[in-house]
Chain A
Amino acid sequence: MVTVAFYSALHYVEAALNQVPGIVHAETSMPRGYPGSLHDYREDLVSQHFSGAWASYRKLRTQSVVARYLSTNRQFLQTPAEDYFSDSDARNFVNRDLDKVRRELGV
């Protein structure tokens, strides 16, 4: 659930960046040699242009990473995501955090 919420937020962000002069899309505007990943760059853009959305967007990103490692057994082996996150957590990621991202971005 949190992974779906994060990637929804990501596309909201890209929609909002489309309205930012000189950016349009993170993938096409990321400077050569920019330190970090594309995710890092996009997150920096959120901080720079939509700071009110940063914390919720950041939370969704970090927890989607945890959830994927849990579910794919790549890193955290013992605990599946459904044991680590409660149903309430999942609802909050969508109803609260994703919603906040969308509202702050104005999309």
Chain B
Amino acid sequence: MVTQFSRRGSDTTEKLKPSYEQLLTEVKSLWEMRSPRFDVSYITLWEDVGERAATFSGPSFTSCLAGWYSYDVQRQQLWYALLGKRRTMQPTTADEIIDLSYADNLSRSAIERALLRLHEIEFEPETALELNVAKLFKEITDVQSIYTDEYLNRKRFLILTSNEKYDDALMDRLLSIEQELHVSYTEVPASFVYIPKLLESVDEIVRRDSKLIYERGSDVRSIGSFVASGAERETSQATA
């Protein structure tokens, strides 16, 4: 497999494969220029690609993508189902894909084209809501983590906060964001549960099938990524 990388616009004959850190830096830079609105979520998406590329195989890679995403690799049109299901994938590992995308005959432009395609994707409203829940609530420092699941056919967000005493100002801020989200996504029935820090373990309040979409102090595993720690938690209902 060709793994060399040509620096675009450079006269140097030196060819090298960029590290994943370099890849991420470049992708972030491109993305910040082109999509400031969704920068956090999209960058997270690519961080997942970078972080997992070295050790995880295809399904984890595809799970990072939300929507449909085609990748043009050596005349093969590789299609990935957003939301995690792989339709067709050859080669089968993420680092192979990145290797190929950075092969001589594709170079960096493949990544740039892919970014442009991603930029054009319109998320399903439910996915967009999830992105914005993470994006808006993370600005409140008391918000420690956010899980989502479905309860009574309604998308539910569990917002875990760090306060151990009732904080009325915090509640006002949380509700202000919630109201904004309800107004922006009227087509998505959603409920929000705010859980103060009164338990040692979130296992007591988060169901096994809940998905972690934000966690403070760690690399955010945002939309579509498989978060084992969240998916494997023991469960109990957190609603009345």
Contact = CB atoms under 8 A, between A and B. Distances in A.
A binds B: yes
Given A36-B152, A54-B179, A79 B198 contact: yes
Contacts of A25: none
Q: How large is the interface on B (under 10, 10 to 19, 20 to 34, 35 or more residues)?
A: 20 to 34
B240 A35 contact: no
B14 interface: no
A35 B239 contact: no
Contact of B198 (A47, A63, A76, A86): A76
Contacts of A47: 179, 182
B151 to A, nearest CB: 8
Interface in B171-210: 171-172, 175-176, 178-179, 182, 189, 191, 193-196, 198-199, 204-205
A41 to B, nearest CB: 10
A84 B240 contact: no
Q: How large is the interface on A (under 10, 10 to 19, 20 to 34, 35 or more residues)?
A: 20 to 34
A65 B240 contact: yes
A84 B166 CA distance: 6
A103 interface: no
Contacts, number: 72
A77 B191 CA distance: 24
A40 B152 contact: yes
Given A36-B154, A75-B204, A63 B191 contact: no
Nearest to A37: B152
Contacts of A40: 152, 154, 189, 191
Nearest to A92: B168
A33 B189 CA distance: 12
Contacts of B164: 79, 84
A62 interface: yes
Contacts of A79: 164, 198
A101 interface: no
B116 interface: no
B154 A55 contact: no
B236 interface: yes
A89 interface: yes
A60 to B, nearest CB: 10
Contact of B240 (A36, A39, A54, A58): A39
Given A36-B189, A65-B239, A55 B172 contact: yes
Interface in B156-177: 164-166, 168, 171-172, 175-176
Interface in A39-97: 39-40, 47, 54-55, 58-59, 62-63, 65-66, 68, 70, 75-79, 83-86, 89, 92
Contacts of A54: 179
Interface of B: 151-154, 164-166, 168, 171-172, 175-176, 178-179, 182, 189, 191, 193-196, 198-199, 204-205, 236, 238-240
6 contacts: A55-B179, A58-B175, A75-B204, A76-B198, A78-B198, A79-B198
